[in-house]
Amino acid sequence: MIGVVSRIAGVGIGAGVGAGLGAGLGGVGWFYSGLLLDTRRDLVLPERVLRVRDGVLTLAGSRLARQPGVWGVRWAGGLARTGPVAADRGTEVDRPLTGGDVPPPGVDAVMDAGPFDPDPGVHGLAFTEVHVDTPLGPAPAWLVPAAEDTWVIAVHGRGGARREALRILPALHRMGLPVLSVSYRNDGDAPASPDRHDHLGDAEWEDVAAAVRFARAAGARRVVLYGWSMGGAVTGALLDRAPEAAAVAAVVWDAPLVDWRATLRQQARNRRLPPGLTPIATAVTSRRIGIDFDRFDLRRHPPAVRPPTLLVHTDADTAVPVAASRALAAAAPALDWPMRYVEVPEMEHTAAWNADPRAYEDLVAEFLRATL
């Protein structure tokens, strides 16, 4: 139809095509925004388990199957724990099976940076399931008790769950730090928001602030905020907006989302979407949930409270751009923000622990001992 109209009236074409393209981009922007705000979490299984023999798990060769270090391999029926790559034959990758379930040959799977399930008991740690009184109702949390009066509030990322904290829990417990691993709205454990949309940190921080109040009421003198991925945006918003930020003694961020626009641009590239779509989708999302994305660029708009912070990011992160963390770390001295930045090579999103668990745990312990 556009071709036909173009032979009739030049001025009308410009308006018609512009309106058509605008409507088309607006529709795609709405669709992309919908993906961003969708609270459903479908398990995507891009890898293939070829066989398990003599304690060795063989995967079809892929970039993720070749990731260094300790990983989980998850499928619809279970989770296996594997060690570093033992052999790479191009189309096949061997990894030692070190724990967890044994996958059946031929099953579709996904490499999982969290190799432990289902709760702190997997490490032999005593814990209690408690409920935090959030603005939307009771939200379950794991409380792993310990002797100190500084508590760690563990905050998972978007699409994640409390199990995100299971990797670091033993190291924190050895330090004597109680850990409260929380849920927040729309994560499948905590109550859903009335609109059933993710709010990208713009509302979730209220649930984490409630967790800080819970900890304080239970005897915590101070708290450490420990956030992965979007947990960085959530805890960053808390530091900026909540009176509970006064109790925060330190922050640990692992692959944190510290610039939503940069992250949306990277996610659009991952989906091979046109670069011009990101501002449209951002504007649509702002209208749909009322978020101000400027407040989530922490380099330009740092939070009101800036405790000593350990920021760890991997340089091969395809989900949350490492460049945003580098920029924030470089700006930290001028922002009067005590910050230590550590970059881990080769690893994917939130996989710094996986590269070398002992080194990662020593880093976190050293930072917290020097800070608390």
Structure confidence at residue 26 (pLDDT): 60
Query: Are 155 and 220 in a shared domain?
Result: yes
Residues 298-334 have pLDDT tens digits of 999 999 999 999 999 999 999 999 999 999 999 999 9
Which range is least confidently modeled, 2-11, 20-29, 300-309?
A: 2-11
Structure confidence at residue 24 (pLDDT): 54
What angle in degrees, to the nearest 10, is found between the helix axes of 277-289 and 10-37? 60
CA-based radius of gyration for the chain: 22
Residue 21 resides in a domain: no
Residues 138-148 have pLDDT tens digits of 999 999 999 99
Residues 157-198 have pLDDT tens digits of 999 999 999 999 999 999 999 999 999 999 999 999 999 999
Q: Do 285 and 227 touch, CB atoms closer than 8 A? A: no
Structure confidence at residue 25 (pLDDT): 55
Residue 126 resides in a domain: yes
Query: Are 66 and 170 in a shared domain?
Result: no
Residue 44: which pLDDT band, with cuts at 50, 70 and 90? very high
CATH number at residue 76: 2.40.30
pLDDT over 90 at 291, yes or no = yes
Residues 82-138 have pLDDT tens digits of 999 999 999 999 999 999 999 999 999 999 999 999 999 999 999 999 999 999 999
The mean pLDDT of 205-220, rounded to a whole number, is 98
Query: Are 52 and 192 in a shared domain?
Result: no
Residues 219-244 have pLDDT tens digits of 999 999 999 999 999 999 999 999 99
Residue 250 resides in a domain: yes
Structure confidence at residue 38 (pLDDT): 87
Query: Are 131 and 224 in a shared domain?
Result: yes
Over the chain, what is the mean pLDDT? 92
Count of domains forming the chain:
2
Query: Are 221 and 159 in a shared domain?
Result: yes
Query: Are 189 and 304 in a shared domain?
Result: yes
Residue 6 resides in a domain: no
Residue 242 resides in a domain: yes
pLDDT over 70 at 36, yes or no = yes
Burial of 252 (0-12, 13-18, 19+ CB in 10 A): buried
Residue 39 resides in a domain: no
Structure confidence at residue 74 (pLDDT): 97
CATH number at residue 150: 3.40.50.1820
- Assign 133 to helix, strand or coil: strand
Contact partners, residue 310, CB within 8 Å, separation at least 6: 250, 251, 252, 253, 339, 340, 342, 363, 364, 367
Range(s) of the domain holding residue 359: 120-371
In this prediction the pTM is 0.92
Structure confidence at residue 41 (pLDDT): 81
Query: Are 135 and 72 in a shared domain?
Result: no
Indicate the residue among 94, 112, 130 that finishes a domain: 112
Token digits of residue 303: 């939070």
- Integer angstrom CA distances of residue 150 from 6, 235, 312, 354: 70, 17, 22, 26
Q: Do 314 and 303 touch, CB atoms closer than 8 A? A: no
Indicate the residue among 69, 91, 112 that finishes a domain: 112
Q: State whether the Cα torsion 355-361-362-366 is positive or negative.
A: positive
Residue 16: which pLDDT band, with cuts at 50, 70 and 90? very low
